[in-house]
Structure 1
Amino acid sequence: MSTTTSPTPDPEGRERTGPADGQAPRPTRLIQNEATTEIPVHLLFRDDPDPAPVPLRPAVVGSRRGTGEQPRFRRPVPAPARPVPEVDPGLAERPGRVLPGTVGVLAGACGTAGCVLTSWWAGVLPPLAVEALWLPAYAGAGLGLSQWAAYAGAGALGLLGFGGLARGRTGRAWVLGMFGRYRGTVRRTGLMWVNPLVLRRRVDVRLRHWRSEPMPAADANGVALRVVLLVVWRVRDTARAVLGIADHETYLRECVEAALARVPVETPGGARRSVEAAGEALTRLVARETEPVGLEVFSVLPARVEYAPEVAAAMHRRSIAALDAQHRASVLTSVVDSVEDTVTRLTMRGLVELDDYERKVLVRDLTVAFCAGRREPAS
């Protein structure tokens, strides 16, 4: 007797296929994943009151089989760049106000002449000075309030005139300040007049080079070194170099030491290209650190590189051993080539007929002879 099956909906709306005469239904609908593993439908919708926590792996997502998808890796986050120190952003070099030196000379001369005339007016000028200055004879009005006021004005004018005279030199600059405030920079040369009430600081703006004392450093393998550096630099912004930091020369020295601690230096006797690469890296670092304070660095080059005293003897022995091994290898290569060339020529020209044993003996004797000849001192 045959039974017919017909799809019947379940309470959740899904269709089931089973016998029509009331027999137990049999789940036959399946879902297949990419690995062709059969999973019953009812397992996908199982209610679990306390689901187990699923461990997450955020670093790498594996590829799916059969999809051609490649594993996805997280991109490394670049380390933030080291911030460059900043000084007062409003502090920048600007020209200071000065007058030609002629103005100061004239003011001083007028003040001196005023004092002389006041003395003649008061009658305190000696007769010889009156005759020398071609002044008319005058008995004098005495030292009164008017005379003292004239003395004060003429003296102040003379002090301001002569006291403000300054001489500008090539390669030198004056940084002017008054009551703690920056008043400008003077780069002029020759005689000039500067307000005598301002504070003047002289700065060398010429191109300078500094040869450092031996500084501690290390190579790529961490071997301790002593390096002497040659730094070529100059003051570009006098306001920041003088007022932005306490001492710009000390700051430059400390920046060079800090850069040398971060850049590996080639060991003594290394390639010249490596030394130049280390110099370029040092120059970039030092120039970047000193630019905010008004210094311009052109080059930082290792002038002398040597091992530190605590490792100098060991590294010297190591260098000698390496040279000796290199020499032995070259001698052995030369001897083997000579023996091979000799045996080949004897065999190819038919001078001797050798079996394996005789060939080995000949090679041994020739090797010993050539090595003994290499070790003999040259006369």
Structure 2
Amino acid sequence: MSTTTSPTPESERPADQGAAARPARLIRTEAITEIPLHLLFRDGPDPGPVPLKPAVVGRRQGTGEQSSPLPDPPGWEHPRLRRPAPVRPRSVPQVDADLVERPARVLPGALGVLAGVCGVAGCLATSWWAGVLPPLALEALGLPAYAGTGLGPAQWAAYAGTGALGLFGLGGLARGRTGRAWVLGLFGRYRGTVRRTGLLWVNPLLLRRRVDVRLRHWRSEPMPAADASGVALRVVVLVVWRVRDTARATLGVEDHETYLRECVEAALLRVPVEMPGGARGSADAAGDALTRLVATDTAPVGLEVFWVQPARVEYAPELAAAMYRRRIAALDAQQRASALSSVVDSVEDTVTRLTMRGLVELDDCERKALVKDLTVAFCVGRGEQGP
């Protein structure tokens, strides 16, 4: 009798047999993001953010529960990306925004002269009215003799009015000159700037400060500087500038000329300056950089800088002797190399011509001896002639 064996279902097979048939999946429906190895050891100066896809978290089959991502192995360190250091812009001095130059209110000088004449005439008339004018003054002025009423309250009031009119009229006269300006202030408050020329009348109660607004140049004393290699130098700078905003230049800073000197000295410490005879265009580049820096620093205080150029560059006193010897040695070495090259070329040309024309037949020893003798002769002759 034949026995038919039915296949054993997969659920009834032993656990060892199923494991041997196919490997068991430890984590199901998981996706792990791979990080390229070269991203972990980037030494770039400023790496940007690396876009990484987040790990996909799957769901366990049949349960609907969300599985947790794969934990990090022992000793694993997450890569740290370098963030760029924040760049702090160079601070520029700021002045009160309301402190801007504006024209002041002035009157023509003729009105001040008229007011002064009226005040003086009023004082004389009051004196004649009071009878205090001497006879000589009456004769000079052509006034009739008058006994007068004496000095009473009315006379003193007339004296006060006419005297104040005369003082205000004559005391407010001012002369405006080309290239000069007046900065006016009242009790510490800016009241305007006068740039007009000629005879003017300005309120005598206002405080006047004269400012030179012409194009000016300033030659500095030797200031410390350095070249691209860090060698200490002394530089004399020529600066061409003028006052653009009189209000800020006078009231925004204590002394605008001293402020300009300090800005030039600070700019020299930030810009390398080369000695004369260096690279072509280095002096122009240094001058342009100095002009930009000084103009930026002095613009908020009402100064306009047109040109900053090194006029004289020399080594610092403590380095002058050593750098002079070094420069002389370099020039001497350059001259010696040039002379040696000239001698070698002359010897080579002489020996070549002698052998090519068949004047002499030389072996190696004779050629070496001839080259030696010619070299000595040319060197001695050049030394006697001088450089």
Tell me if both proteins adopt one fold, taking TM over 0.5 as the criterion.
Answer: yes
Check the 8 A contact 1:6/1:20 in 2, yes or no.
no
- Match in the other structure for 1:63: none
- Match in the other structure for 1:335: 343
Aligned pair in 2 of structure 1 residues 256, 22: CA closer, same or farther (>3 Å)?
closer
- Match in the other structure for 1:70: none
Matches within 5 A, 1:162-201: 162-201=170-209
Q: 1:137 aligns with which of 137, 145, 148?
A: 145
Matches within 5 A, 1:271-290: 271=279, 273-290=281-298
What SS is found at the alignment partner of 1:102? Answer: helix
By how many angstroms is 1:21 displaced?
10
CA–CA distance in 2 between the matches of 1:223 and 1:114?
A: 76
**Counterpart residue type for residue 179 of structure 2:** G
Runs in 1 of length 4+ with deviation above 4 angstroms? Answer: 5-9, 19-22, 28-31, 45-51, 74-78
Check the 8 A contact 1:339/1:366 in 2, yes or no.
yes
CA–CA distance in 2 between the matches of 1:7 and 1:278?
A: 91
Matches within 5 A, 1:103-252: 103-252=111-260
Q: 1:89 aligns with which of 84, 97, 110?
A: 97
Check the 8 A contact 1:177/1:200 in 2, yes or no.
yes
Check the 8 A contact 1:174/1:185 in 2, yes or no.
yes
Q: Where does the alignment leave 5 or more consecutive residues of structure 2 unmatched?
A: 1-6, 26-30, 37-66
CA–CA distance in 2 between the matches of 1:150 and 1:7?
A: 136
Check the 8 A contact 1:268/1:307 in 2, yes or no.
no
Q: How many residues align?
A: 346
Aligned pair in 2 of structure 1 residues 7, 216: CA closer, same or farther (>3 Å)?
farther
Aligned pair in 2 of structure 1 residues 196, 359: CA closer, same or farther (>3 Å)?
same
Matches within 5 A, 1:299-318: 299-318=307-326
Check the 8 A contact 1:104/1:162 in 2, yes or no.
yes
What SS is found at the alignment partner of 1:351? Answer: coil
1:352 correspondence with 2:346: no
CA–CA distance in 1 between the matches of 2:292 and 2:68?
A: 65
Q: Where does the alignment leave 5 or more consecutive residues of structure 1 unmatched?
A: 10-18, 36-44, 60-73
RMSD (Å) for aligned C-alpha atoms: 3.1
CA–CA distance in 1 between the matches of 2:165 and 2:126?
A: 14
1:23 correspondence with 2:45: no
TM-score (norm 2): 0.82
CA–CA distance in 1 between the matches of 2:72 and 2:310?
A: 69
Post-superposition Cα deviations, 1:55-112, rounded to whole Å, max 9, x if no partner, equal: 23334xxxxxxxxxxxxxx685573320211000110000011111100000000000
Post-superposition Cα deviations, 1:98-136, rounded to whole Å, max 9, x if no partner, equal: 111100000000000100111111111122322332323
By how many angstroms is 1:138 displaced?
2.2
**Structure having the larger proportion of residues in strand:** 1
What SS is found at the alignment partner of 1:270? Answer: coil
CA–CA distance in 2 between the matches of 1:192 and 1:154?
A: 21
CA–CA distance in 2 between the matches of 1:281 and 1:34?
A: 46
CA–CA distance in 1 between the matches of 2:319 and 2:214?
A: 40
Post-superposition Cα deviations, 1:293-335, rounded to whole Å, max 9, x if no partner, equal: 0001111111111111101110011011101100110011111
